[in-house]
Amino acid sequence: MDYVYGPGKNHLFVPGPVNIPEPVIRAMNRNNEDYRSPAVPAMTKTLLEDVKKIFKTTTGTPFMIPTTGTGAWESALTNTLSPGDRIVSFLIGQFSLLWIDQQQRLKFNVDVVESEWGQGAKLDILAEKLAADHAHTIKAICIVHNETATGVTNNLATVRKLLDQYRHPALFLVDGVSSICALDFRMDEWGVDVALTGSQKALSLPTGIGIVCASPKALEASKSAKSVRVFFDWNDYLKFYKLGTFWPYTPSIQLLYGLRTALDLIFEEGLDNVIARHSRLGTATRLAVEAWGLKNCTQKEEWYSDTVTAVLVPPHIDSSEIVKRAWKRYNLSLGLGLNKVAGKVFRIGHLGNVNDLQLLGCLAGVEMILKDVGYPVKLGSGVAAACAYLQNNIPMIPSRI
Amino acid sequence: MDYVYGPGKNHLFVPGPVNIPEPVIRAMNRNNEDYRSPAVPAMTKTLLEDVKKIFKTTTGTPFMIPTTGTGAWESALTNTLSPGDRIVSFLIGQFSLLWIDQQQRLKFNVDVVESEWGQGAKLDILAEKLAADHAHTIKAICIVHNETATGVTNNLATVRKLLDQYRHPALFLVDGVSSICALDFRMDEWGVDVALTGSQKALSLPTGIGIVCASPKALEASKSAKSVRVFFDWNDYLKFYKLGTFWPYTPSIQLLYGLRTALDLIFEEGLDNVIARHSRLGTATRLAVEAWGLKNCTQKEEWYSDTVTAVLVPPHIDSSEIVKRAWKRYNLSLGLGLNKVAGKVFRIGHLGNVNDLQLLGCLAGVEMILKDVGYPVKLGSGVAAACAYLQNNIPMIPSRI
Amino acid sequence: MDYVYGPGKNHLFVPGPVNIPEPVIRAMNRNNEDYRSPAVPAMTKTLLEDVKKIFKTTTGTPFMIPTTGTGAWESALTNTLSPGDRIVSFLIGQFSLLWIDQQQRLKFNVDVVESEWGQGAKLDILAEKLAADHAHTIKAICIVHNETATGVTNNLATVRKLLDQYRHPALFLVDGVSSICALDFRMDEWGVDVALTGSQKALSLPTGIGIVCASPKALEASKSAKSVRVFFDWNDYLKFYKLGTFWPYTPSIQLLYGLRTALDLIFEEGLDNVIARHSRLGTATRLAVEAWGLKNCTQKEEWYSDTVTAVLVPPHIDSSEIVKRAWKRYNLSLGLGLNKVAGKVFRIGHLGNVNDLQLLGCLAGVEMILKDVGYPVKLGSGVAAACAYLQNNIPMIPSRI
Amino acid sequence: MDYVYGPGKNHLFVPGPVNIPEPVIRAMNRNNEDYRSPAVPAMTKTLLEDVKKIFKTTTGTPFMIPTTGTGAWESALTNTLSPGDRIVSFLIGQFSLLWIDQQQRLKFNVDVVESEWGQGAKLDILAEKLAADHAHTIKAICIVHNETATGVTNNLATVRKLLDQYRHPALFLVDGVSSICALDFRMDEWGVDVALTGSQKALSLPTGIGIVCASPKALEASKSAKSVRVFFDWNDYLKFYKLGTFWPYTPSIQLLYGLRTALDLIFEEGLDNVIARHSRLGTATRLAVEAWGLKNCTQKEEWYSDTVTAVLVPPHIDSSEIVKRAWKRYNLSLGLGLNKVAGKVFRIGHLGNVNDLQLLGCLAGVEMILKDVGYPVKLGSGVAAACAYLQNNIPMIPSRI
């Protein structure tokens, strides 16, 4: 009756798609509707207003495009840049690599700044490039806020500081796919020009909406950007925004209702409480990894990610085997190591709609699997370390009855 | 939008109602239907056939009554007995107490055999009573298979042995509310005359169906039983069974589809695998309790229950406070101590649709709460003990891709 | 994948169970919860307060029992009466007949006042009986507000007038199963002592809650009523009401959330608007029947029911064949004729969550089936008559955007 | 609790998004899952195999892209053509106009063949162009199978015949958005090179999958096509098809399960029966329009569409008013007239998961609204005409119990 079934719940700890809150699943449990009726535009209007809050922007213009993060990337690039434009882009893991691949295929002149996987973006090199770029040939800086493959969070405030320091007019484009709604992100304060995320990440919805938010400067740039675009063209949206019907083509009714509910839940918990929850769970996870005697793929504390932890395994162990057994035996979904770190890391996603005991169940499962593949873990050690921290840091949850 | 909401999932570890499998929730997500159409009787027919399997009976006749366990009790009694009939009934905890209260209010002559709470039914006293009852004044033996309040499982095979030994014709009525579909239960082999359960227990459905299964001897008894009954009267069902329309009054369409799916899942996993899963999780829970240095309310191993563990707390701790904090802080639902053991025990229900990592998350939560209320637990100790056992006893789950 | 499937929607026009509003289906799409947590009692409290409004009572005490209408009947009788008590009961169709059967089996002394099926209760005979009963041997009057088998609505205000006129203290017990929330019902104004309904009728929920509402006089009577009862005993509820935990045994969590939403929807539309909607749809249906040249089973206009219309077919036609073909060919569920009117009538239920175009689709389907079984209907005639009325009587629906 | 609510069901008769079958809604009622687990690829494999059947192709390669119809268009064009390529494209209504707009913005050299709105594509002009094109400068023919704005179905077999007749190698690209799964479509037989549809049309799913199917010749063309593309690039899919993981980026788990169920239902009913059902309902709708004395926007019978009927209203009536009142008063969603036919036509979508009585309810609603806006319709006339046809043409539905 179902495609795969095991007793109990699936423990979903990949860094996306993530667990959907039950009220959101309920809100999406519905038939289609006419998106040209008065109801859908009225709801869309509230969504466009409210979605800005998760970017911490009041001046940005959001686009909720029926696509994935990859499409959101393409929308960010093609609406603001022209073929041949020079962009500085940081390669620090699989997802920044894929974005750079896209940038190259879209015919931009990509100035790649590479780091060892496990390290953050080399912002000192950015400083040098900006300092040298008197002619302002650099049209945009492209950076992932959080590299999902290695669990590395970049410091966006520093990027803005450098741009300001060198009075450089380059656009500041940020992939916030695994950060927005989970990590501290401040579009206006940091002067980000385009930020984007996908519905299936910290927003905790199904895949299907790529949300792109453009600063006034980015909107201005879109008027002269020569990249060919139709489906991803902001201008088609802006035309319908003016008409008050909002949609150039058919949106998913279910995802609109889901997004409405997801935002309501985030605001009920409080966006900053949501971010604090991610910090608690990220810290607890890292303490467990330490207790197991394993290394975090992320090499320095300043880059630690509160949404995903990539765990390095000893050389004689294949991390893919851990992921495989976790799924088969405990209905636990962990993230694989990708590309350069394939076989070397497994990833625990702790973003989106998740709470303490769910994470602790996952950590207990990881311990059993580690033991099962021959790593001499002390059972209970990671859970104990995580519990010790969590127990002293009471979760902030919405007030109840 | 919802009545109470916290991030992540609710961790439901009361001994009922229990977690519903997602395919069952899906199957029930539907509009009403005409129960007199050809479809509903056709489905009902398969349900009546299949529901017998969870009682391990081929000769029994099941009744799926729109009621709760309390109603199922009443159906079992009023269909087989007449006011004034002498019955032997075992008081070992809150639920057997409530059943006895019902028996008395229904005007039976109840011969109560009481045990200390935490102990099983005194079957030696049953032996004495049977031995002495040459006149066969005892019309029925009423016993709970599993006392949900104290986590005590009674030995039903012994009851049957005694009845056989003394060639006593008394009816053998069993409350299997927190056992059937989770503990080893054999209606035919043990010569049980009426067995019953509720849909919200190990069947893992919502509340709403009281399932009562009657042996041929019980059906025969119903012909002369003089207790007044209408709603709970088996005879009304039997009339409609003959007609092939099955329902004397309106069933819940949603629960019928839910039951169909629940049975499919149980048979896919294998009923004996389901029982083995309960044994694994019960054992793991008891090992955790031991590691915490706490006592099981159940006084002897022979009575240990694989569906619920009642944990005794030290005298200076109020177990209700544990339950309250678990819910408020960790979205963890534990069972309260009831009546004589109120404040003294909290209960972990580990029955129904639950798996290893869910239980381990719960145990981790209990540890944090124990520490929080001042009990000097070593964090991680219970989880470690449970993991050590579970990791060596690979779960039997349905074959996957 | 499903038990029976045809393209498009099932057209559910039996007089119960009825169509569930989609928001209610969504609200019920959820896992179980601990009913002893703080959340469930808090919600229950609002339900008990709000459910009184659908009875139009401020002084009544409601009981939401996990049962069907049959169980609600039993609860009404056993809590207020003692075996042997004389009650006057009106037999006007299959459901009043079944209630009377229950009354007799519960050992009351039933004074049956029978009408021809298709006529209302003979209240003139009631007057005679009350006038003659100086000794007040009549303990209760039992009457269905709306006989679902024949589509006959009784005049409850007249019953009260007669009781007042003869200053008779008999309890006034009303089966409102197919009336409450659809027809004008006024518990306090009419001095009804016990009124009851089932969740699957005009409340438009799944089957599973029998709602019984008791006046202060009925509650008083329950203190001395000697009928044996446990599951249906109001006193067990009252005990838990005082404790603030509300439930003597496990309720269906899903139905509680469903009821919460159902009540919210009814209050949003306005209870009197809901009743007016039923009146519009009832009138439209009767106009269609007239246009077809068929007779209403209900013999006089004063008894016309706005929740169900029983349509008489010509003698050479078997009404069961109409019901069978409607289901098989058009996915249309109509009500069968029952007992005395089996084969002679088919029934259109137009109660609960239904609107104009749904009804018109049903009427069009009935026309095609009538033609198909050889009745010389003019296709479109019934729809035309209904449309002419409806088009001039604009529906009152909740204000929209 | 919901965004807009009225009693009863919404009657959804826009030509997309359409009504979702309840089993599909159920199948989608679920949490996210790891799309890199073994389960999702295993299911995807079956989908890719089965989805070919709705295109009636065995040699085509399908791509299920997380996008809308607009994105599917873009994928069809950019994967097969290079900027500057000459294409012949037929403008016959709003959706072909939008596709042509896209073609032009993607920098193709579009040779537009325009028809009056309400007429089909001018295939005689295509013949001329092909005849004259000895140099094979025409790289592709772009045509909508069914123009959703006017209810015009083009004859694709003729297009193929012409291409063959002139031995012209141009690619044959077909927008099947409002045809595939509803109208007779034969990719292999007609030598279509790229065909596409959207999940929210006749497949009866939510919006979110643009399904594009490419012939071997189209795949070959994609190797040299120079249009810039990343998100829509088939090659990224083909790479992952080879790996057996199938997805270059995150799909919607819910839509995959939904699609699995939607295909199962279509195959259970039989694709040709589904098409026959659309023909029945299309015919019935047109008979109703005729009975009302109104004109079909489609000017000749050969172009009549079985998925959408655009109804011309008399000059003094504003068709938008009809749509507005239908929604507000009867919860009936009709399609607006678009662009050139705005205010002049309203549209009845009769595609996807819909049955006889749903359509008849809609037609009855249209009659009441027509009368309400002052058009002298005879109430019941359209329904009568539709019923007369339908009653003589028994629906072919899957065999039932």
**D39: which chain B residues are within 8 Å (Cβ-Cβ)?**
400-401
Contact at CB, B372 and A378, closer than 8 angstroms: no
Nearest residue of B to residue A371, measured between CA atoms: B391
Q: Which residues contact B161 (CB under 8 A, 6 or more apart)?
A: none
Contact at CB, C380 and D398, closer than 8 angstroms: no
The distance from CA D235 to its chain's CA centroid, rounded to whole angstroms, is 25
**Confidence band, pLDDT 50/70/90 cuts, at residue B398:** low
Closest CB from B353, B391, B400 relative to A379: B391
The closest of B144, B182, B203 to B307, measured between CA atoms, is B182
Coil, strand or helix: which one is A177?
coil
**C368: which chain D residues are within 8 Å (Cβ-Cβ)?**
387, 390-391
Contact at CB, C401 and A38, closer than 8 angstroms: yes
CA distance D266 to A274: 43
Tokens read off for C315: 């003698």
Mutation for D interface: B29, B33, B43, most D CBs within 10 A: B29
Instruction: Give the Å distances, CA to CA, from A340 to A13, A370, C48, D326.
Output: 21, 22, 62, 59
Contact at CB, B401 and D31, closer than 8 angstroms: no
Contact at CB, A381 and B379, closer than 8 angstroms: no
Mean local confidence (pLDDT), B141-145 = 98
Read off φ and ψ for residue B132, nearest 5 degrees.
Answer: -80, -15
Burial classification of residue B329, based on how many CB atoms lie within 10 Å of its CB (0-12 exposed, 13-18 middle, 19 or more buried):
buried
Rounded-to-10 torsion of CA C133, C138, C142, C143: 0
CA distance B34 to B32: 7
User: Which element (helix H / strand E) includes A39?
Assistant: helix A39-54
The closest of A162, A193, A164, A189 to A176, measured between CA atoms, is A193
Tokens read off for A401: 């009855």
Read off φ and ψ for residue B388, nearest 5 degrees.
Answer: -60, -40
Query: Cα angle vertex C222, ends C217, C227, to 5°?
Result: 140
Residues pairing with B20 in the sheet: none
Tell the residue number behind the tokens 């006057």, with chain if given. Answer: C88
Q: Is the pLDDT of residue A49 over 80?
A: yes
**A19: which chain B residues are within 8 Å (Cβ-Cβ)?**
8-9
Nearest residue of C to residue B17, measured between CA atoms: C32
What is the per-residue pLDDT for C396?
A: 72
CA distance C380 to D139: 53
Instruction: Give the Å distances, CA to CA, from D380 to B337, C238, D370.
Output: 67, 55, 12
Q: Is the pLDDT of residue B5 over 90?
A: no
What is the per-residue pLDDT for A127?
A: 98
Read off φ and ψ for residue A180, nearest 5 degrees.
Answer: -60, 130
DSSP H helices, C113-179, are 123-132, 156-165
Q: What percent of chain C has pLDDT over 70?
A: 98
Instruction: Give the Å distances, CA to CA, from A81 to A140, A227, C21, D84.
Output: 8, 6, 49, 22
Closest CB from C31, C38, C400 relative to A401: C38
Nearest residue of A to residue C21, measured between CA atoms: A30
What is the per-residue pLDDT for B145?
A: 98
Q: Which residues contact A77 (CB under 8 A, 6 or more apart)?
A: A102, A103, A106, A108, A142, A173, A227
Name the stretches of chain D with pLDDT < 70: 1-2, 397-401
CA distance C154 to B383: 65
**D10: which chain A residues are within 8 Å (Cβ-Cβ)?**
31, 33
**Confidence band, pLDDT 50/70/90 cuts, at residue B248:** very high
Q: What is the CA radius of gyration of chain B?
A: 21
Read off φ and ψ for residue D196, nearest 5 degrees.
Answer: -150, 155
Tokens read off for C281: 């749809």
Nearest residue of B to residue C327, measured between CA atoms: B37
Rounded-to-10 torsion of CA D2, D3, D4, D6: -10
Closest CB from A264, A277, A361 relative to B7: A277
Contact at CB, C387 and D400, closer than 8 angstroms: no
Chains touching chain D, criterion 3+ CB pairs below 8 Å: A, B, C
- Number of C/D CB contacts below 8 angstroms equals 183
Chains touching chain B, criterion 3+ CB pairs below 8 Å: A, C, D
Peptide bond into D17 cis (omega under 30): yes
Query: How many angstroms away from the CA of D28 is the closest CA of chain C?
Result: 12
Tell the residue number behind the tokens 């079958």, with chain if given. Answer: D21
Closest CB from B25, B29, B401 relative to D39: B401
**Confidence band, pLDDT 50/70/90 cuts, at residue C47:** very high
Contact at CB, A401 and C42, closer than 8 angstroms: yes
Instruction: Give the Å distances, CA to CA, from A59 to A43, A49, C384, D12.
Output: 20, 11, 56, 37
CA distance C383 to D361: 9
Query: Cα angle vertex D369, ends D365, D370, to 5°?
Result: 115
B174 touches B186 (CB < 8 A) = no
D65 touches D47 (CB < 8 A) = no
The closest of C187, C186, C86, C189 to C140, measured between CA atoms, is C86
What is the per-residue pLDDT for B394?
A: 82
Contact at CB, C401 and A30, closer than 8 angstroms: no
Mean local confidence (pLDDT), A199-206 = 98
Tell the residue number behind the tokens 């309902």, with chain if given. Answer: D281
User: Which element (helix H / strand E) includes C303?
Assistant: none
Sheet strands side by side (includes C210-214): C61-65, C210-214, C194-198, C171-175, C138-144, C86-91, C109-114
Q: What is the CATH number of domain C22-267?
A: 3.40.640.10
C176 touches C268 (CB < 8 A) = no
The model's pLDDT over C129-147, given as tens digits with 9 standing for 90+, comes to 999 999 999 999 999 999 9
- The per-residue b/e assignment along C110-128, b for 16 or more CB within 10 angstroms, e otherwise, is bbebbbebbbbbbbeebbe
Mutation for D interface: B2, B26, B30, most D CBs within 10 A: B26
Mutation for A interface: B269, B355, B363, B400, most A CBs within 10 A: B355
Peptide bond into A17 cis (omega under 30): yes
Q: Is the pLDDT of residue C1 over 60?
A: no
**B29: which chain D residues are within 8 Å (Cβ-Cβ)?**
25-26, 29
CA distance D151 to D341: 12
Query: How many angstroms away from the CA of D209 is the closest CA of chain B?
Result: 22
C125 touches C133 (CB < 8 A) = no
Nearest residue of C to residue B73, measured between CA atoms: C231
What is the per-residue pLDDT for B4?
A: 76
What is the per-residue pLDDT for D394?
A: 82
CA distance D170 to D131: 12
Closest CB from C31, C102, C229 relative to B12: C31
Contact at CB, A384 and B379, closer than 8 angstroms: yes
CA distance B176 to B60: 15
Burial classification of residue B226, based on how many CB atoms lie within 10 Å of its CB (0-12 exposed, 13-18 middle, 19 or more buried):
exposed
Q: What percent of chain A has pLDDT over 90?
A: 97
Q: What percent of chain C has pLDDT over 90?
A: 96
Peptide bond into A169 cis (omega under 30): no
Mean local confidence (pLDDT), A65-71 = 98
Q: Is the pLDDT of residue A398 over 80?
A: no
Q: Is the pLDDT of residue A1 over 90?
A: no
**C206: which chain B residues are within 8 Å (Cβ-Cβ)?**
32, 252-255
Read off φ and ψ for residue D148, nearest 5 degrees.
Answer: -70, -25
Contact at CB, D333 and A33, closer than 8 angstroms: yes
Tell the residue number behind the tokens 């009709």, with chain if given. Answer: D334
Evaluated on CA atoms D150, D153, D158, D159, the torsion sign reads positive
Residues pairing with B346 in the sheet: B311
B374 touches A378 (CB < 8 A) = no
Evaluated on CA atoms A70, A73, A78, A83, the torsion sign reads negative
The model's pLDDT over C307-327, given as tens digits with 9 standing for 90+, comes to 999 999 999 999 999 999 999
C100 touches C139 (CB < 8 A) = no
**D231: which chain A residues are within 8 Å (Cβ-Cβ)?**
67-68, 70-71, 74, 232
**D380: which chain C residues are within 8 Å (Cβ-Cβ)?**
380-381, 383-385, 387
**D251: which chain A residues are within 8 Å (Cβ-Cβ)?**
207
Specify the amino acid at residue B370: L
Mean local confidence (pLDDT), C372-384 = 97
Contact at CB, D379 and C384, closer than 8 angstroms: yes
Burial classification of residue B331, based on how many CB atoms lie within 10 Å of its CB (0-12 exposed, 13-18 middle, 19 or more buried):
buried
**Confidence band, pLDDT 50/70/90 cuts, at residue C347:** very high
Q: What is the CATH number of domain A11-18+271-400?
A: 3.90.1150.10
* pTM recorded for the entire structure: 0.98
Closest CB from C25, C70, C253 relative to B29: C25
CA distance C346 to C330: 16
D195 Ramachandran zone, left/alpha/beta (phi>0; psi -120 to 50): beta
Tell the residue number behind the tokens 């190797």, with chain if given. Answer: D223
Contact at CB, A66 and D69, closer than 8 angstroms: no
Mean local confidence (pLDDT), C356-376 = 97
Contact at CB, D26 and B30, closer than 8 angstroms: yes
Contact at CB, C354 and D7, closer than 8 angstroms: yes
Query: How many angstroms away from the CA of A114 is the closest CA of chain D?
Result: 22
Rounded-to-10 torsion of CA C377, C381, C386, C390: 170
CA distance B49 to B53: 8
What is residue A83's DSSP assignment? T
Tell the residue number behind the tokens 């494209």, with chain if given. Answer: D89
**D27: which chain B residues are within 8 Å (Cβ-Cβ)?**
26
D19 touches A30 (CB < 8 A) = no
What is the per-residue pLDDT for C394?
A: 82
What is the per-residue pLDDT for A370?
A: 98
Chains touching chain C, criterion 3+ CB pairs below 8 Å: A, B, D
* Domain boundaries defined on chain B: 11-18+271-400, 22-267
Nearest residue of B to residue C28, measured between CA atoms: B29
Nearest residue of D to residue B42, measured between CA atoms: D401
What is the per-residue pLDDT for B179?
A: 98
- Give me chain C's average pLDDT, please: 97
Contact at CB, A74 and D31, closer than 8 angstroms: no
What is the per-residue pLDDT for B1?
A: 54
Contact at CB, B394 and A329, closer than 8 angstroms: yes
The closest of B88, B85, B136 to B106, measured between CA atoms, is B85
